A and B are shown apart, each in its own frame.
Chain A
Amino acid sequence: MSGFRLIDIVKPILPILPEVELPFEKLPFDDKIVYTIFAGLIYLFAQFPLVGLPKSATPAVNDPIYFLRGVFGCEPRTLLEFGLFPNISSGLLLQLLAGLKVIKVNFKVQSDRELFQTLTKVFAIAQYVILTNIFIFAGYFGEDLSVVQIGLINFQLVGAGFFTTLLAEVIDKGFGFSSGAMVINTVVIATNLVADTFGVSQIKVGENDQTEAQGALINLIQGFRSKHHTFVGGIISAFNRDYLPNLTTTVIVLAIAISVCYLQSIRVELPIRSTRARGTNNVYPIKLLYTGCLSVLFSYTILFYIHIASFVLIQLVAKNEPSHIICKIMGHYENANNLLAVPTFPLSLLTPPTSFFNGITQQPLTFITYSVFVLITGIWFADKWQAISGSSARDVALEFKDQGITLMGRREQNVAKELNKVIPIAAVTGASVLGLITILGESLGLKGKAAGIVVGIAGGFSMLEIITIEYQQSGGQSALNQVLGVPGAM
């Protein structure tokens, strides 16, 4: 032990931090499904409005991170104000820093790994506390809150964050399928997509108690006989209302979803053969989306930090007054629909426009700066992540060696070199293509839905891959067999 290591600072907190026990034995396939579904359901159930907010109709401070919410499963003014963001960001950042040797962790030593994961957890919960109090003192939950109200909001948001962390941990520890944060995120994005299309819940719009359905398709059908629209006006409104999901955005989101599904199937198939037996030829696929949704998640994590930092400066320090020196340098927030806080010039460079025409007329530079930002962060991340995540060319080559596989027509020593020609390029190209799709969708004014669906579909496929492997290995006894009518089952 020489010098100070960041992971050592969590040592004193270790005994009081809840730690989910590992399962005694490997759980059956069906149990894992039940755990995963219940963890997802409990998370969805937590989309519950906060207690203790003032009852005034229009809040003074609007939502500054509206376009980031779709990616991290956040719901404004509910228990899930910050959703999964602290978990995902602390995991991504700390693992990246450890991989780049900025934080000293020796992953070979068990105590180091334990400390490292505890650090991840502490960092996540600390972020919940910090974000909650930033939002409280910036006046997001209302001006002049009493001490009781501040305490209550802290209790609710930090408590929700704490349980979100534990739910993700339950799934991670082997009670569910692989990664908790990503499973829950995928569940939330899928639910949101359905709610935006078929949601029947009636939401008040306008002054005279007019209500419209949340779902775009339901709204179109209701528009035929609603009182505050003419017949044609109802149809037009179904396609271009901007306060709730409309059919145009739904169609664009579906188009993005389909194109990501298509990209998912693109891969290079390297021919392999066994070194032990003759005639056993096969292919080893290397997907174009080698880093999956993580590159987009990383770009959005960085965007989130930038926007929270500027929210602190603009709202908390400068009180959003355009004459203040900070607001002159960084821009200020403007109110849109009484819901969103849309930043003005310098900060707007990193904010996707609320609609395509707004973007063209008011912030044309954004298209360039935002695209460059997402592409550069995504590509940089993919390049680093494929090398450090334990699936780099060298690691795959080692795996080949263990399993007695080699690339067709290559000597065993050259496998790593050969894989190195494919894997980094696949990772970087995949990240840039995903980034381009995200940029395209966001430029059309989807307010985070494009990035959300990209993360959801790409993440969902990564999950599906793991679930399928698990099913093939131990799903023989599964009750799913009977439900799906697999031949040979009971």
Chain B
Amino acid sequence: MASSVPPGGQRILQKRRQAQSVKEKQAKQTPTSARQAGHGGSSSSVLKLYTDEANGFRVDSLVVLFLSAGFIFSVIGLHLLSKFTHII
């Protein structure tokens, strides 16, 4: 009971420093993907591109579906136009 060694942790100063630096390194490391940071995203077998809502020009999901159908119809319209008028 002569010297009072603090309980727990590494006994040698050098080792304690080493453990400390490893811990610091891990804390400093940024996650490698959105999923590792805990925000969804790609997993090991699924490639996911979009996880958050960025501050862009907001559009509704239904609007996207209708507009993309509309886009295809516009191409059909172009086909008709080129068939009947020979402009293109």
Contacts and interface: CB of A to CB of B under 8 A. Distances in A.
Interface string B29-57: 01111111101011111111111111111
Interface in A51-87: 51-52, 79, 87
Majority DSSP secondary structure for residues of B touching A: loop
A166 B64 contact: yes
A458 to B, nearest CB: 8
Chain B contact patch, size range: 35 or more
Contacts of B42: 91, 95, 179, 389-390
A480 interface: no
A317 to B, nearest CB: 29
Contact of A181 (B47, B58, B65, B71): B47
Given A51-B79, A91-B49, A19 B61 contact: no
Majority DSSP secondary structure for residues of A touching B: helix
A294 B45 contact: yes
A389 B44 contact: yes
Interface in A84-135: 87-88, 90-92, 95, 98-101, 105-108, 110, 113-118, 120-121
Interface residues of A, number: 87
A231 interface: no
A10 to B, nearest CB: 9
A432 interface: no
Contacts of B71: 159-160, 163
Contact of B49 (A49, A52, A179, A290): A179
A386 B82 CA distance: 51
A18 B49 contact: no
A169 B49 contact: yes
A178 B88 contact: no
B76 interface: yes
A168 B43 contact: no
B79 A15 contact: no
A348 to B, nearest CB: 30
Given A110-B52, A114-B52, A293 B32 contact: no
B61 A15 contact: no
Interface string A155-194: 0100110010011111011010011111000000000000
Nearest to A45: B72
Given A163-B71, A390-B43, A48 B55 contact: no
Contact of A51 (B55, B65, B82): B82
A92 B43 contact: no
Contacts of B64: 18, 20, 163, 166-167, 169-170
Interface in A1-54: 14-23, 35, 38-39, 42, 45-46, 48-52
A170 B61 CA distance: 6
B45 to A, nearest CB: 3
A160 B42 CA distance: 25
B78 interface: yes
A98 B31 CA distance: 9
B10 interface: no
B54 A115 contact: yes
B60 interface: yes
Interface string A429-461: 000000000000000000000000000001000
A49 B80 CA distance: 12
A85 B49 CA distance: 13
A19 to B, nearest CB: 3
Interface in A260-300: 287, 289-294, 297
Contacts of B72: 42, 45-46, 48, 79
Contact of A117 (B32, B51, B58): B51
Nearest 7 Cβ contacts at the A-B interface: A292-B45, A390-B35, A19-B56, A390-B36, A114-B54, A391-B44, A107-B37
28 contacts: A14-B54, A15-B55, A19-B53, A19-B56, A20-B50, A42-B69, A45-B72, A46-B68, A52-B78, A79-B75, A87-B49, A116-B34, A118-B54, A121-B49, A149-B88, A156-B75, A160-B71, A166-B59, A167-B65, A169-B49, A169-B64, A172-B48, A292-B46, A294-B47, A389-B43, A390-B42, A391-B44, A395-B35
